[in-house]
Amino acid sequence: MTTNRKRQQGQPLLLINIGQLLTLRSISRKAGPRRGADLKELGTIKDGAVLTLAGKVISVGSTKDALRDPWIRKHRKKVVEVDCNGKVVVPGFVDSHTHPVFVSPRLVDFEKRIKGASYEEIAAAGGGIRSSLEAVRQAAKSDLAAKVLAVLQDMAGHGSTTIEAKSGYGLTPESELKSLEAIREAAGSWPGTVVSTLLGAHVVPKEFQGCSQNYVEIVCSEMIPRAARRNLAQFVDVFCDKGAFSAQETVQVFAAATKQGLSVRAHVGQLSQTALAPFLRFEPASFDHMDHVSDDDIHQLAQHDTVATLVPGANYFLGLKEYPDARRLIEAGVPVALATDYNPGTSPTISVPMAMSLACTHMKMSPAEAVAAATINGAWALRVADRKGSIEAGKDADLAVFDVQDYREIPYWFGASRCALTILNGVATSCDRTFLREFA
């Protein structure tokens, strides 16, 4: 940890005059991700205040009470005071699905799609994920780490403070481990929190085409044990869909991960429907995409804590007319999260507010549901809800200050970031001119 970061964390920080403070504090005694009507409960405090110290939230309440607090009055000189002047404060976004370890954008695929080719057609013709592999295999770890760090910093500028980061563009044991090491290196230079995922089962690389079993064997017996031994990943992910891995192969990868003590998650239902029941015994943290899902599976998911992570950026960027049916999931009681799915093929966006905007306009989620899905339910999807996703005493000091008067403006002003200040584990970073003098 840098000296500057330690000094900042050690200093008490008091945010006052918060127009709307969205705490997302827990509303029921039953622990678990938000479902149904609970998804829109934001726990809003008007004219709020938050005190943080040593990377943790110490107290949350009204500005009036904070200014009367004996401890705050006694230590006023030491406390760094941030006058939010009516702005909105939310828990830092938890972007629970990103693929940041790649070298170049895929501009040829982009143009082909504009001319009418589909994601699957482009992949079958040698584009898609496979066309990103060579550059990652050749890249120096430090170059990959620099790219990941730049993205983490940009994401923080849009309000994200916890980010899941997947490997998945190397697809050899060496390059997958190098990608995870690059994530770790970048995370060490960033004040926010990174959760790493091994996505060795992203697609079958071309040297294994026609013998996917041999590749799955390498994922299970080499990549997963090596990543686990070195503590390089908390999760193992699989792209389970046509053109990628079958349900049976997914079960194989999940079993290998579980054996090594790693938790699992999967990309499912993006291009076609897969029955989810065989996966549930592994208690996946999330099923991501979920464009295609049966009523039976929805019914089962409502009984589990597995989060359905919706990534509408992918639908937008692929130019699809259909989006995941968020209303059907929410009304059935399935916990729903929102994430960017930042990646070069389907969703090159770093912006959670953009994902929220798409969720509101195309998936008919209310702004309140979108906020909860991008904070507390994102935290559940990463199994960090005990410390992330809400602003409550004892939790990590992860906050985002938006230069708006009403939280509904966050998804409303689409395509532009209104984030003015992000506080990551107690470290404040200015995102615009508003707080530049205090926090460079």
- In which element (H, E) is residue 114 found? helix 107-114
Q: Is 341 near Fe ion (CB under 5 A)? A: yes
Query: What is the token pair recorded at 137?
Result: 């295999």
Of 78-86, 328-336, 340-348, 355-363, the segment contacting ligand NIG by CB under 6 A is: 340-348
For ligand NIG, the nearest residue by Cβ is 345
Query: What is the token pair recorded at 400?
Result: 């985002």
- In which element (H, E) is residue 15 found? strand 13-22
How many angstroms separate the CA atoms of 137 and 142, rounded?
A: 13
CA terminus-to-terminus distance, the chain: 18
Measured from the CB atom, the residue of 23 and 346 that comes closer to Fe ion is 346
Smallest distance, ligand NIG to C-beta of residue 347, A: 6
Q: Is 129 near ligand NIG (CB under 6 A)? A: yes
Q: Give the strand order in the sheet containing 336-338.
A: 93-95, 160-166, 193-201, 235-240, 263-268, 286-289, 307-310, 336-338
Identified binder of ligand NIG from the candidate list 23, 343, 351, 434, rule CB under 6 A? 343
Identified binder of ligand NIG from the candidate list 128, 200, 378, 411, rule CB under 6 A? 128
Q: Is 312 near ligand NIG (CB under 6 A)? A: no
Smallest distance, ligand NIG to C-beta of residue 292, A: 13
Measured from the CB atom, the residue of 270 and 429 that comes closer to ligand NIG is 270
By three-state DSSP, how is residue 73 classified? Answer: helix
CA distances from 118 to 78, 104, 241, 260, 293 (A): 58, 20, 15, 37, 21
Q: What's CA 266's distance to the chain center, in Å?
A: 14
Smallest distance, ligand NIG to C-beta of residue 308, A: 14
Which partner in ligand NIG, Fe ion, none is near 287 (CB below 5 to 8 A by kind)? none
Identified binder of ligand NIG from the candidate list 95, 341, 398, 403, rule CB under 6 A? 341
Q: Which residues contact 137 (CB under 8 A, 6 or more apart)?
A: 170, 172, 174, 175
Smallest distance, ligand NIG to C-beta of residue 187, A: 21
Bridge partner list, 238: 201, 266
Output the 3-class SS for 278-291.
Answer: HHHHHCCCEEEECC
Of 126-134, 138-146, 279-287, 389-397, the segment contacting ligand NIG by CB under 6 A is: 126-134
DSSP 8-state code for residue 327: H
Residue 257, Cβ density class (10 Å: 0-12 exposed, 13-18 middle, ≥19 buried):
buried
Q: Is 291 near Fe ion (CB under 5 A)? A: no
Smallest distance, Fe ion to C-beta of residue 419, A: 23
Phi then psi for residue 188, to 5 deg, are -70, -20
Q: Is 100 near ligand NIG (CB under 6 A)? A: no
Which partner in Fe ion, ligand NIG, none is near 128 (CB below 5 to 8 A by kind)? ligand NIG
How many angstroms separate the CA atoms of 95 and 159, rounded?
A: 10
Which partner in Fe ion, ligand NIG, none is near 88 (CB below 5 to 8 A by kind)? none
Of 118-126, 256-264, 279-287, 341-349, the segment contacting Fe ion by CB under 5 A is: 341-349
DSSP 8-state code for residue 168: -
How many angstroms separate the CA atoms of 81 and 75, rounded?
A: 11
Which partner in ligand NIG, Fe ion, none is near 425 (CB below 5 to 8 A by kind)? none
Of 150-158, 294-302, 343-351, 367-375, the segment contacting ligand NIG by CB under 6 A is: 343-351
CB 157 within 8 Å of CB 431 = yes
CB 117 within 8 Å of CB 81 = no
Of 207-215, 337-345, 378-386, 387-395, the segment contacting ligand NIG by CB under 6 A is: 337-345
Measured from the CB atom, the residue of 284 and 345 that comes closer to ligand NIG is 345
Q: Is 346 near ligand NIG (CB under 6 A)? A: yes
Residue 300, Cβ density class (10 Å: 0-12 exposed, 13-18 middle, ≥19 buried):
middle
* Closest among 380, 412, 411, 385 to 396, alpha carbons compared: 385
Q: Is 250 near ligand NIG (CB under 6 A)? A: no
Measured from the CB atom, the residue of 341 and 398 that comes closer to ligand NIG is 341
Of 38-46, 65-73, 84-92, 338-346, the segment contacting ligand NIG by CB under 6 A is: 338-346
Smallest distance, ligand NIG to C-beta of residue 183, A: 16
Size of interface with ligand NIG, in residues (CB under 6 A): 13
| Chain contacts with ligand NIG (rule: CB under 6 A) | 99, 128-129, 132, 239, 267, 270, 314, 341, 343-346
| Chain contacts with Fe ion (rule: CB under 5 A) | 341
